[in-house]
């Protein structure tokens, strides 16, 4: 299939990883990056940020015009819009006029019912989508309200070329930790990790901190936590996950998460995962066999202490978690292949 992929194709991002999967499945695919930056003045930057906040984001890469010209030239079968909040409804309307056969497919790993995750362009465009795929089970009903013809829930998925088991030199490994977490700073996460660290367990935490949370981070910080204000991407992310004896998986409450990308990326790396207990997590992995879960900071502490003591049991669960990812087809390649086959009207065995 000829697929035109549109989204923020940035190194190490899940969007970029999905595009790489599409490239492997469709050799005639092409990508338009919506995140390219222009050299703009300080005043322009303030103006564009203001527009974004009220729902009209700037189109820094001129993606809208690029989509129209590319569709005219290549006549793709599918326009894949990966959280393409800068794409205007007028653009999609023009595309529909140019090509009668084209299918508009939307995908997002975020909760697109939140105003901070979408734009007015995105909201007004939804009625023109033929299909939309969301990793938020509650998002199906919400997206249908905006007029999407067909909305489907899919599990989060991992990149088989990025999230895998690797072996590192422990003496030179800066990521090595008994307990580790990779994710942005949030007050609730900090409070829970402080509780664990205050009990004498050393933790390493990689993740960015917003300006509004900078002072709070100083307050909610235990000496047993080594916090690195760095966003890990690509190979560094995989190295870190592979370096943890126990990798904690928190969910974002603002997104109403019941699973997240880390939910499958951690087990895919062959690392022992301790995640927040949800029905979706329990469906993805068998508790106590393929992953472990917690519902309170006290339970989290008990399980950390137990699994740090019993190394063989921890490794057994980590291996089983990796096998489950492979057996159940949690990779981007398998997920996207199912989507494309469905759109083509084919059934996979």
DSSP state of 78: E
Which pLDDT does position 253 carry in this prediction?
86
Beta-bridge mates of residue 30: 4
Confidence tier at 220 by pLDDT (50, 70, 90):
low
Backbone angle region of 114, left / alpha / beta, with phi > 0 → left and psi within -120 to 50 → alpha: beta
| Confidence bin at 213 (pLDDT 50/70/90) | low
The pLDDT score that the predictor gives to residue 140 is 92
**pLDDT score for 349:** 46
Q: Residue 163: pLDDT above 70?
A: yes
**Domain ranges in the chain with CATH number 3.40.50.2000:** 3-157+331-343, 170-327
127 in Cβ contact with 147 (< 8 Å): yes
Q: According to the 3-state scheme, what is the secondary structure of 300-320? A: HHHHHHHHHHCHHHHHHHHHH
Average pLDDT over residues 206-212: 73
The rounded distance, in Å, linking the Cα atoms of 62 and 96 is: 19
Percentage of the chain surpassing pLDDT 90? 70
Q: Is the pLDDT of residue 239 over 50?
A: yes
pLDDT in the model for residue 29: 86
DSSP 34: T
Average of per-residue pLDDT values in the chain: 91
pLDDT digits (tens, 9 = 90+) for 7-64: 999 988 999 999 999 999 987 789 999 987 666 677 767 767 777 877 888 888 999 9
Concatenated DSSP letters of 139-207? HHHHHHHTT-S-EEE----B-TTTSS-----GGG-TT-EEEEEES---HHHHHHHHHHHHTT--EEEE-
Helix (H, G, I), strand (E, B) or coil at 233: coil
For residue 115, the number of C-alpha atoms closer than 13 Å in the C-beta half-sphere is 6
3-157+331-343 folds as: Rossmann fold (3.40.50)
pLDDT above 90 for 186:
no
Q: What is the pTM of this model?
A: 0.92
Average pLDDT over residues 138-148: 90
* Residue from 284, 12, 175, 194 nearest 273 by CA: 284
Cβ-Cβ contacts under 8 Å for 348 (sequence gap 6 or more):
337, 338, 341
What architecture is the 170-327 domain classified under in CATH?
A: 3-Layer(aba) Sandwich (3.40)
């Amino acid at each position: 299939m000829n697929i035109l992929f549109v989204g923020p194709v940035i190194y190490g991002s899940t969007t970029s990883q999905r595009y790489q999967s599409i490239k492997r499945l469709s050799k005639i695919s092409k990508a338009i990056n919506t995140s390219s930056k222009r050299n703009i003045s300080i005043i322009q930057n303030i103006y564009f940020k203001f527009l974004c906040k009220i729902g009209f984001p700037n189109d820094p890469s001129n993606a809208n015009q690029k989509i129209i010209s590319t569709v005219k030239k290549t006549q793709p079968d599918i326009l894949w819009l990966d959280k393409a909040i800068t794409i205007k409804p007028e653009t999609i309307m023009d595309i529909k006029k140019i090509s009668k056969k084209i299918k508009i497919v939307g995908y997002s790993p975020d909760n697109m019912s939140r105003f901070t995750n979408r734009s007015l362009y995105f909201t007004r465009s939804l009625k023109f989508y033929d299909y939309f795929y969301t990793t938020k089970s509650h998002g199906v009903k919400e997206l249908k309200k905006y007029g999407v013809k067909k909305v489907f829930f899919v599990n989060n998925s991992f990149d088989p070329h990025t999230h895998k088991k690797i072996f590192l030199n422990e003496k030179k490994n800066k990521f090595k930790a008994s307990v580790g977490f990779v994710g942005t700073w949030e007050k609730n996460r900090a409070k829970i990790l402080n509780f664990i660290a205050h009990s004498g367990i050393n933790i390493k935490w990689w993740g960015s901190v917003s300006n509004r949370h900078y002072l709070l981070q100083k307050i909610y910080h235990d000496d047993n936590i080594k916090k690195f204000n760095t966003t890990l991407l690509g190979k560094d992310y995989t190295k870190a996950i592979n370096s943890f004896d126990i990798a904690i998986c928190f969910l974002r409450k603002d997104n109403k998460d019941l699973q997240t990308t880390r939910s499958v990326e951690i087990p895919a790396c062959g690392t022992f995962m301790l995640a927040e207990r949800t029905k979706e997590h329990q469906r993805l992995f068998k508790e106590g066999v393929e992953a472990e879960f917690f519902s309170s900071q006290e339970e989290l502490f008990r399980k950390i202490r137990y699994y740090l003591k019993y190394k063989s049991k921890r490794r057994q669960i980590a291996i089983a978690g990796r096998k489950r990812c492979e057996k159940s087809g949690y990779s981007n390649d398998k997920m996207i292949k199912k989507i494309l086959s469905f759109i083509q009207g084919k059934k996979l065995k």
